[in-house]
Structure 1
């Protein structure tokens, strides 16, 4: 269950809180998502989680599950609280700055007069106005045995400055630290609100039609099979089938596609779409918890909790980095005065304080998860759901992409192009028997055969229906045993036949052990498929492969048409897994290079799970494939995979920029401070400036838009 955390404004605090929660039995898998301000924990451990939060971070509140509130309501309330808190903090910063100015100007003059108490009165007041929250947090952490955090560094640095009579610099450290925290908080909150607005596609009500009357109810209260009315301009609240009406719907929230889509009687419609000008009457086909919009919200909100390797490294790095810096500062303060002639403790303590100020790892700890969170948000806005930051990293390192054929690279809309009877059977008998045998199948090929037949099929004339995975089906139709499937089915059943390969997808039909003929099914390549392959080639993907259960002739034709590197045909689900494993083993650098598999059918779920990055087509794909996938393309356009790769690389570039920026500038000023060139003022400007630059740079990921769309 996911809960909202109110008041969690410190990335380092979030990491420590998560660490403490995981020490409690039953909360070992607890995950804190700082970018989203949420906690994932079992409902039965809620009381234990609250106890840990109260002990570790008393200022943080655990709110009710985010899914139970009306969309936007929690965001508005949280925004109001954040506005009040920002106003109060800004007020204190302004007062402290106004006190610092005269204290700084008259500092030396007051110090040499009997009125030196005024110096302390003015500057210590300014110091406490902006520094008291830091001092209080440091004291609270010391009591709990937590010494090495940013509040500890700030408190030690500023109290040391006061001790050596550098009051303006002590106030400056706290003031600029407060300014940095203020802007950092605003940047994080703005990113959270941007994601919340991006995900504000959750419908707040449904117009339920009962006994000729319509009333507004919560979408969760509508059952499968009930009828709802969707008025012009309203969000579609649940997945369903249109019973009456014709309209155009805006699918941008789900697919990123800006062109409205026409829906009419008999067609499906998904929750989260926005109705245009027509009035629609819809039969609900899924409960709200399983609707498209609910799945999108769940996938995106969970995504940032899955940390990328870079995030994990920075979290571990900051855990060791801060103690190392504190020990280094202590050594810098004590050793040189003892071994260098003429060195004074005041000089080297001051340099040690500079070292402490510049050492805060805030720029890395906050900006990196914020960058990944923004990348996930940008992808979802363009119709690509990435289920975790780790998969963004993997997408940027694609070497091989493996595609399924039907429904992925091809339309999956089959048409019967030829009916070829054998052994005395007529075309009409062959087609009618095949249509009856396929009456219970949902496969596109079966649907195309039934559509070509066009007549009524009485279900009671079909018995003993059975699907044979990777081969076809068998059934008893009107007392006759019928087989319908591919050439492998004929060989499996030892059926004598004169033709094995046909030009297209062939469905061979056997009636009472006699080969009755075959039906040729034509499937068209998606126009978008060529753009998908071209986009991947442009991005440097080295190998594009086709895996299909279809016949070799069909696979060869599609591979040649799209310019694929290679193909493997007539594969069972387990064969696809074996092929993907072989392709993974053949990668030149298995550690750094990744393989993605793109599919849409239920039979693709095993291989989607086995690939480094499993990609599902979310528009028409099966639930099993979507659940198994790491990336979901909400529009049935394979070229969106190239969009996802571009976003992943853009995000990775920004994350690397922040790492290099923060570490290089901090290293530079650490050296300057150690040699006495940099003062505390410069250290504060460098620390706060780097943190703000990294945070604002990270928010660029959220605004990314694929130039190819």
Structure 2
């Protein structure tokens, strides 16, 4: 709980305790009627003075029909007919409910603020070999910062020196520390566990991951879910209806029923007003969605508004990008196949040397698989042939490494391979020496993610990719996807997605999951755009409605489960609140319910609904 929240609740408790003491003295001791009324009235003012004041202020603003108005009319009416204890008691119990609601809301906010307490206070800037403690806003892109054990990483960047274990739980929801070393990317908000690391800053503080996450969470409550909007509209019409009904209940029966007591029916009308307060709905429903967003954040899922949280319940189709979403986006040598008497290690060595001057991801993966330092002195006459591959003299031998077009252009007889991946053909002194197969690795949880989505009722899972048909279909088959569309240009992805969306039923939604700059248009077009936020592009994260902080596809299933649990609890509150109120309203109109029953129907129901809504915050989706 923040300091302001603590202070406000302490004041409420002191005020409430004093009001309760006055009420107890007035009830327990025999005073004259005037003193008794005065004690009850003071208790009433201490407990409900703010409610009465709010009611009058709202009336001046033209906002007549709200819970403050209902409570004020009902309690003043009780005093008017001489029911002093009940008038004061109603306000006392109402304030108990308000106090517990405030404590519950503060607890929810505290959980999220604790979770989001990742904003760094300072950065250790390296200047002329010494560290200077500065504000993160003062650090520029390209500067070197030092992060010591136990400190937060203040800005996004790349490690240039040192290695360590970092706690990423505040961003990703993952409790297992991650090992990082020179060349690895680190994000603002990570906590350095042991070693000292030097980081070259890649983004200014305003553009850093921690700032964007905080902005997302802080702005999320501004986007209301349809259920919240429905309750707001419901209360707008419901309140004047019950006020008019209560007035008619108090006035008409004494006129038309012989012997009916005006004070008896006025009391019933006042009870009716207290019962009818829509507090349980007005407070607990937004709190339910607020808790759902907080619970998702704890699991490394950032949802930009409760409207998107609720919309997840209606998703029928999930469309995926491939590279960086279902696969790691990192090329890796998956097979080395030598021919004509060459050996695997010999083929890999020659190819790594021939590719040693190239920055292409395929060349990098081959050099990585070689695993040794390439002696570039042994490489002569290096030539990169655009769209074909490379040519170089290595240890006096001519090495050709590239695609089938390279082999054909050099008139080399080779064995063409139809494999799911990128095939690099190698020729040594114009003689075919074999091939190396490069493939993009699947993420460990991709298959499980697709299975879980189907278990949760997703009818169609589709992949859109610019990769070749064979690779795309191989991946789709291994993951159990329903459809795959390959060899798409970025603009083709949008048109293909629109075809899929148009084919979906009107009330069901289509989600798109991506991570790259080229995915941003589709993420913006989708009913729900989901971005991989760990290593995803800024454009994708900006365009998305939901951000998965650790890049795990299985988190999509967790997000769906959180959405379903949130909706279930919100509707439990709606049905419970309206059901209890309906029963007690009928009993109140028939003279079978007193002010005490009315207090339960209002304050008690609101309190139970709030406590129920709080369960959303601690919900942990089961692993698939």
So what's the TM-score if we normalise by structure 1? 0.77
Cα distance in 2 for residues equivalent to 1:371 and 1:228: 41
Q: Is 1:608 matched up with 2:504?
A: no
Partner of 2:73: 156
Q: Is 1:332 matched up with 2:249?
A: yes
Alignment equivalent of 2:486, drawn from 569, 575, 584: 569
Q: Is 1:361 matched up with 2:278?
A: yes
Cα RMSD for the two superposed structures: 3.5
Q: Tell me, yes or no, if the aligned pair for 1:232 and 1:276 is still in contact at 8 Å.
A: yes
Judged with a 3 Å threshold, the aligned counterparts in structure 2 of structure 1 residues 584 and 700 are, in CA distance, closer, same or farther, namely same
Alignment equivalent of 2:506, drawn from 590, 609, 612: 590
Deviations 1:626-672 (A, max 9, x none): 11111111112111111111111111111111111111111111111
Partner of 2:585: 670
Q: Is 1:261 matched up with 2:178?
A: yes
Judged with a 3 Å threshold, the aligned counterparts in structure 2 of structure 1 residues 445 and 596 are, in CA distance, closer, same or farther, namely farther
Q: Tell me, yes or no, if the aligned pair for 1:506 and 1:518 is still in contact at 8 Å.
A: no
Q: Tell me, yes or no, if the aligned pair for 1:501 and 1:551 is still in contact at 8 Å.
A: no
Higher deviation after alignment, 519-528 or 147-156: 519-528
Partner of 2:89: 172
* Residue 237 of structure 1: how far off its partner (Å): 0.9
Q: Tell me, yes or no, if the aligned pair for 1:420 and 1:427 is still in contact at 8 Å.
A: no
Q: How many residues align?
A: 595
Judged with a 3 Å threshold, the aligned counterparts in structure 2 of structure 1 residues 429 and 320 are, in CA distance, closer, same or farther, namely same
* Residue 419 of structure 1: how far off its partner (Å): 9.6
Alignment equivalent of 1:347, drawn from 247, 250, 264: 264
Partner of 2:445: 528
Cα distance in 1 for residues equivalent to 2:229 and 2:610: 18
Judged with a 3 Å threshold, the aligned counterparts in structure 2 of structure 1 residues 448 and 360 are, in CA distance, closer, same or farther, namely same
* Residue 236 of structure 1: how far off its partner (Å): 0.8
Alignment equivalent of 1:406, drawn from 297, 303, 323: 323
Judged with a 3 Å threshold, the aligned counterparts in structure 2 of structure 1 residues 184 and 129 are, in CA distance, closer, same or farther, namely same
Cα distance in 2 for residues equivalent to 1:140 and 1:606: 47
Partner of 2:554: 639
Q: Is 1:289 matched up with 2:198?
A: no
Cα distance in 1 for residues equivalent to 2:465 and 2:185: 27
* Residue 141 of structure 1: how far off its partner (Å): 2.3
Judged with a 3 Å threshold, the aligned counterparts in structure 2 of structure 1 residues 584 and 274 are, in CA distance, closer, same or farther, namely same
Alignment equivalent of 1:502, drawn from 418, 429, 432: 418
Partner of 2:428: none
Deviations 1:295-336 (A, max 9, x none): 211111111211111111111111221111111111111222
Q: Tell me, yes or no, if the aligned pair for 2:48 and 2:91 is still in contact at 8 Å.
A: yes
Q: Is 1:143 matched up with 2:60?
A: yes
Q: Tell me, yes or no, if the aligned pair for 1:502 and 1:520 is still in contact at 8 Å.
A: no
Partner of 2:7: 84
Alignment equivalent of 1:661, drawn from 576, 579, 593: 576
Q: Tell me, yes or no, if the aligned pair for 1:545 and 1:565 is still in contact at 8 Å.
A: yes
Partner of 2:314: 397
Cα distance in 1 for residues equivalent to 2:72 and 2:404: 75
Higher RCO (CA 8 Å, separation ≥ 6 residues):
2
Cα distance in 1 for residues equivalent to 2:223 and 2:101: 23
Q: Tell me, yes or no, if the aligned pair for 1:202 and 1:293 is still in contact at 8 Å.
A: yes
Q: Is 1:622 matched up with 2:537?
A: yes
Cα distance in 1 for residues equivalent to 2:82 and 2:572: 38
Judged with a 3 Å threshold, the aligned counterparts in structure 2 of structure 1 residues 508 and 244 are, in CA distance, closer, same or farther, namely closer
Q: Tell me, yes or no, if the aligned pair for 2:121 and 2:135 is still in contact at 8 Å.
A: yes
Cα distance in 2 for residues equivalent to 1:626 and 1:445: 27
Q: Tell me, yes or no, if the aligned pair for 2:54 and 2:68 is still in contact at 8 Å.
A: yes
Cα distance in 2 for residues equivalent to 1:357 and 1:501: 79
Larger Rg belongs to: 2
Judged with a 3 Å threshold, the aligned counterparts in structure 2 of structure 1 residues 161 and 264 are, in CA distance, closer, same or farther, namely same
Cα distance in 1 for residues equivalent to 2:323 and 2:355: 21
Judged with a 3 Å threshold, the aligned counterparts in structure 2 of structure 1 residues 359 and 379 are, in CA distance, closer, same or farther, namely same
Residue segments in structure 2 that go unaligned for 5+ positions in a row? 340-346, 393-401, 406-412, 426-431
